[in-house]
Structure 1
Amino acid sequence: MTRVRGGAGATSPPPVARPPVRAGVLRRIRADRVLLAIAVPGLVYFLVFHYGALFGNVLAFMNYVPFLGIGGSEWVGLAHFERMFADPEFWNAVGNTLFIAVLQLVFFFPAPLALALLLHSIVGDTVRKFVQSVVYLPHFLSWVIVLALFQQMLGGAGVVNGWLSDLGVGGVSIVGNPDAYGPLVVAQLVWKECGWATIIFLAALSQVDEQQYEAAAIDGANWGRRLWHVTLPAIRPVIVLLLVLRLGEFLSIGFEQFFLQRQSVGPEAGEVLETFVYFTAFAGGDFGYAAAVGLFKGVIGIVLIYTANKVAHRLGEQGVYKA
């Protein structure tokens, strides 16, 4: 007997059969097959060189010998970590890394934001595109070329010392001076990467509603107040996200830049964790100890990014992940 609804002769419609979930997933895969194919190389890169490389952390607990392999090498437990905490050369590398990392956080992190605000305030499109092209260019230069340029400008026989000699003033020692090494490498990083790092901030600034600027200007807000009350609150999520990511890589300050300048200032001032791991593993052949140092740096990075993410949540921002 058919159940009657509404008027006479009305019958309930037959239930609509839903397609199986698997069929829906396959349909979406076929529809997005081009985008998925583009993503495959990046996915393989991260699986092999990032997630797959995590299995190599087992070397930190053994005296690894390449000819014997992991199965034939001697297991030593936490011996490498005990040696690490008692090694003055390791702590020298940690101190140099922390010093340069703090300088990078204080001087390099705000620099792209300031440059992005400057570029965003330029009215003429032609001038803005020209300035963007100029500040983006150093990113595409290798560190070898960048360091050669700084040597020609700030070296003992560089342009700056030449000008000072012509003026009758004594020369300054910058390149190769251990005392000036920290500020020098940060200045090199700012010159090379500041322009490229503005891309994300410029994208965030382009999403700010122009009507908010107009309303603030009508209310009598000057440029500084519009910046503080309109621009910065609008892009604060992006700033917090990039800050959390930067803190997660706080001890990863780079390799090539410091490797190329280590000999000029000496290991006492030029040794950082990346170069310490490299010379310990490949110059000294102590792969287990180098793996222990690398694992220590990774654990510290996890703690820093977890803490920074929690602080971001307390400030009302999403951070890197929700937890």
Structure 2
Amino acid sequence: MTRNFEGRVAIVTGAGNGLGRAYALELARRGAKVVVNDLGGSRDGSGTSPAAQAVVDEIVAAGGEAIANSSSVTDEQAMNALAQDVKAKWGRIDILINNAGILRDKSFSKMSIDDFRLVVDVHLIGSAICTKAVWEIMKEQGYGRILMTTSATGLYGNFGQTNYGAAKAGLVGFMNSLGIEGGKNDIRVNTIAPAAATRMTEDIMPEEVLAQMDPSTVVPAALYLVGEDAPTRTILSAGAGGYQRAYITLTRGIRVDAAEATVERIAADIEAIGDRADELLPENAFVQSALGLGQI
């Protein structure tokens, strides 16, 4: 079945280059009206450039419809204004892809709190600001597709990226709770964990690896997660032609009487606690308590 986005309106942040550009171009090619948002800064967030307009020019030249926006995702007033302007122009907002990001990589010993805060502000708080700006619009129209961007660092860790990892892990928690809240209004919230050759990764990975990791290989997974039949609260990993699903699970562990709940008991039974046989995929936070109470 051919999937198209005719009649849909999408906002893609960080869409002046790399993954965001690839998302915007393909959404437009498949019929969506696209807002290309990009401050145009360097990888560390400094400076500006007309990157967003260049992508819009590509879309328009190919027969699509798009507008550029150069606001920072950390500017709450500007993003609220953008959402209202888009609704006034096109009548609705169906899709938000939170893709904007920066890096300030250093070991934690050498990292300043300002470096930590700035990365969290752009990735996590910026995603919250953009999502909040479109949330009521999506609720009122009874439809919305929101995509967060995590990473392997956020899911599994990486040296020199404590700030980035914290922000990216936070987005998974944001998705899980927001997906529950949005369910009754058909707002589905998912997360992509991309691996691609972009400005963000150009000096992190070897050239021979980057050559295999064109952003176009991530696009199919991202567009699936913002399609009409998208799942919700799903994490897909994508890159270099490989696609996987990531899960947060809970082992069944052990139950002991209060009198036996000691550090010595935990140490003695740590292997049983970590046994992954029949592990659970919790639907919400209450599963952990229910399991502890022996209700599951």
Shorter-normalised TM-score: what interval? under 0.3
Q: Pick the structure with more helix per residue.
A: 1
TM-score (norm 2): 0.23
Q: Pick the structure with more strand per residue.
A: 2
Structure number with the bigger relative contact order (C-alpha 8 A, sep ≥ 6) is: 1
TM-score (norm 1): 0.22
| Structure with larger Rg | 1
